[in-house]
Amino acid sequence: MIKQYVFSKTTRMLLLNIVLAIIALTMVLPFTWMILASLKTLGEIGGDDWLPKTFQWKNYYDVFTLDGILFGHWYWNSIFVASWVTFLQVFTSSLAAFSFSRLKWKGRDAVFLMYLGTMMLPGLVMMIPNYQNMIKLGLVDSYPGLILPAAFSAFGTFLMRQFMMNIPASLDEAAEIDGASKWQLYWDVILPLSRPAIVTLTIFTFMGNYNTMFWPLVLMKSPHKFTLPIGMLAFDSSQGQQTNLLMAAVAMSVIPMILVFIFMQKRLVKGIMLGGVKG
């Protein structure tokens, strides 16, 4: 009976691993095709062979030298905007979370619920009011216009609040006894202890804004100010059917996000697990 049970358990684990391997392979295939297509000539793209006859590494260089294609500018714009949005969103979310979790004031929970309710509004619904505000402020076709509307996040506040509520209240009392102000309590005590949540929010925010498309498409007009997703549209329309060069450009834009996730995945999972525990 014991051998039969062990065999049955081993068989189930083997079948589970096979299923997971198939799912993983299915998800990896499009990325593999993209990389291989970026190393082919244009004539080989529509062929049946997966591997190129000769690896065309020059395709990656050609992306930066094509007339009318400002790939280097678009790359920098995406990193610049995503970095500023990430910094501001983490800072504002941590401040709001500190207020909602560590400070006591009248109507705090009601305000938090209303603030949390904004997560139910689709982003497209808020796009028109945001665009009208950018017109009034004169921020259309500008980097601040891309950054400021995304600098505040109900999700980020919720994530940080859930984590901060798990920090013992005795630390607040000890800091107050030592004469610490509310700002010192936030900056010197609560914020360092919230590092896993900060890392999680940083990754989510950077990846989300690095890949965002609709808001830059609406706001930006000048080609040299485009971010990568918008630049890819211009690339495809201006260069016709040069799929191999387009795949090279996409591969270069995707690889940084993959590297970020690979190196930060342990902290990401830890932050999600700790932040999801209700305090």
Q: How far apart are CA 274 and CA 267, in angstroms?
A: 10
pLDDT at 278: 43
User: Which tokens is 142 given?
Assistant: 């500008």
Q: Give residue 271's pLDDT band: very low, low, confident or very high (50, 70, 90).
A: low
Q: What angle do CA 120, 84, 101 make, to 5 degrees?
A: 50
Helix extents (H) in 170-225: 170-177, 182-184, 191-193, 195-210, 214-219
Tell me, yes or no, whether 223 and 236 share the same domain: yes
Q: What angle do CA 83, 238, 212 make, to 5 degrees?
A: 25
Mean per-residue pLDDT for 122-147? 90
pLDDT at 246: 85
Q: How far apart are CA 79 and CA 91, in angstroms?
A: 18
Residue numbers of the domain that contains 247? 61-275
Tell me, yes or no, whether 12 and 38 share the same domain: yes
Q: How many CB atoms lie within 10 A of CB 5?
A: 9
User: For the domain that residue 242 is a member of, what is the CATH number?
Assistant: 1.10.3720.10
Domain count, the chain: 2
pLDDT of 70 strictly over 70: yes
Tell me, yes or no, whether 203 and 147 share the same domain: yes
Tell me, yes or no, whether 103 and 131 share the same domain: yes
Mean per-residue pLDDT for 45-72? 84
pLDDT of 245 strictly over 60: yes
Mean pLDDT of the chain: 85
Which 3 state secondary structure label does DSSP give 230?
Answer: helix
Q: How far apart are CA 121 and CA 104, in angstroms?
A: 28
Closest CA to 231 of 108, 94, 71, 87: 71
Tell me, yes or no, whether 44 and 67 share the same domain: no
Q: Give residue 92's pLDDT band: very low, low, confident or very high (50, 70, 90).
A: very high
pLDDT of 196 strictly over 90: no
Tell me, yes or no, whether 225 and 178 share the same domain: yes
Tell me, yes or no, whether 133 and 174 share the same domain: yes
CA dist 110 → 143, 158, 202 (Å): 34, 14, 27
